[in-house]
Structure 1
């Protein structure tokens, strides 16, 4: 009888342990799934830490527009942290039509190029010829206004701090 009570006590004690099994230990596994359905998701690793938009009134905004015969793409994901720091990570093109399956180098914010951006509190910086990255469009559905893709880039913020943005993915419905 003592063995049964001891066995029940051990079983009960082990079942009470709260091991947070819902949160994966690998940061990449904490990013949203790489879908292509217009799920309005965005995530990446910012210096190895998970970055997802939130805590602001418009955390995710996407546009792909044809203006005067030229295409412009803008994707902005913003987050305000508890200490009031505001960070936004963005992707954009100026006068550049996007195609599903294509990979675009993230360079300067110039006509005919794609770029990455990093906004911290009050200052924005862009990718450059020296600090670059890539944007891959995995889906572009201009009937249902869905654009999905992956990205990565390096950037130096306005304070001279180097940042690595890695394993980026997005699946958004855009306005045109």
Structure 2
């Protein structure tokens, strides 16, 4: 009889256990980024201060161009995401500087002849708009892994740091894009 009572207690205990008592851990942020492809899949993603950043929920949430203007090249790939009335945008680009496949560019200030990284943060409720660029002190790197003029595809990886007005350094890491660009 003692064995039956013990078995009933154990069965009742096990039946009351909730699967959610031990939830599975969330996948690491880097695994939530789009794959680093080179097919023109129109993907963009990075880690912004360790959190996943991907384009979303706004019209024109990503953009890419590589244009020749007055004899000078301009490249820019950007993505934005709006959550809880806060619009964030991440971009990398060049000012009067051409790019090529296999090239690695250092990100400095946004000026003619340079490559730069940018972080935009705007709050609809407060009206605060912040825009921060890489600089001589807060730099990064852009690697162009594919540049295909036949199919207008540009792919690459990037990382950089920017410092905001409150002296917080924001880290953009594991950036990747695979975009079709306009000329």
**TM-score of the superposition, structure 2-length normalised?**
0.82
**Pairing 1:42-61 to 2, within 5 Å after superposition:** 42-61=44-63
Check whether the contact 1:150–1:170 (CA below 8 A) recurs between aligned residues: yes
1:105 is aligned to 106
2:175 is aligned to 168
Check whether the contact 1:105–1:114 (CA below 8 A) recurs between aligned residues: yes
Aligned match of 1:34 in 36, 39, 46? Answer: 36
* Structure 1 residue 140 corresponds to structure 2 residue 147: yes
CA distance in structure 1 between the aligned counterparts of 2:23 and 2:155, rounded to whole angstroms: 31
Q: Name which one, 1 or 2, has greater alpha-carbon Rg.
A: 2
**TM-score of the superposition, structure 1-length normalised?**
0.86
Deviations 1:26-78 (A, max 9, x none): 11111000000000000000011100010111100111001121110011110
CA distance in structure 1 between the aligned counterparts of 2:93 and 2:159, rounded to whole angstroms: 13
1:4 is aligned to none
Aligned-residue offset at 1:161: 2.1
CA distance in structure 2 between the aligned counterparts of 1:120 and 1:127, rounded to whole angstroms: 15
Check whether the contact 1:61–1:76 (CA below 8 A) recurs between aligned residues: yes
CA distance in structure 2 between the aligned counterparts of 1:159 and 1:64, rounded to whole angstroms: 33
In structure 1, list runs of 5 or more residues that go unmatched: 1-8
In structure 2, list runs of 5 or more residues that go unmatched: 1-10, 123-128
Count residues in correspondence.
Answer: 165
**Pairing 1:75-94 to 2, within 5 Å after superposition:** 75-82=77-84, 84-94=85-95
CA distance in structure 2 between the aligned counterparts of 1:120 and 1:97, rounded to whole angstroms: 28
Aligned-residue offset at 1:109: 0.4
1:126 is aligned to 133
Aligned-residue offset at 1:24: 5.9
Runs of 4+ in 1 over 4 A off after TM superposition: 16-21
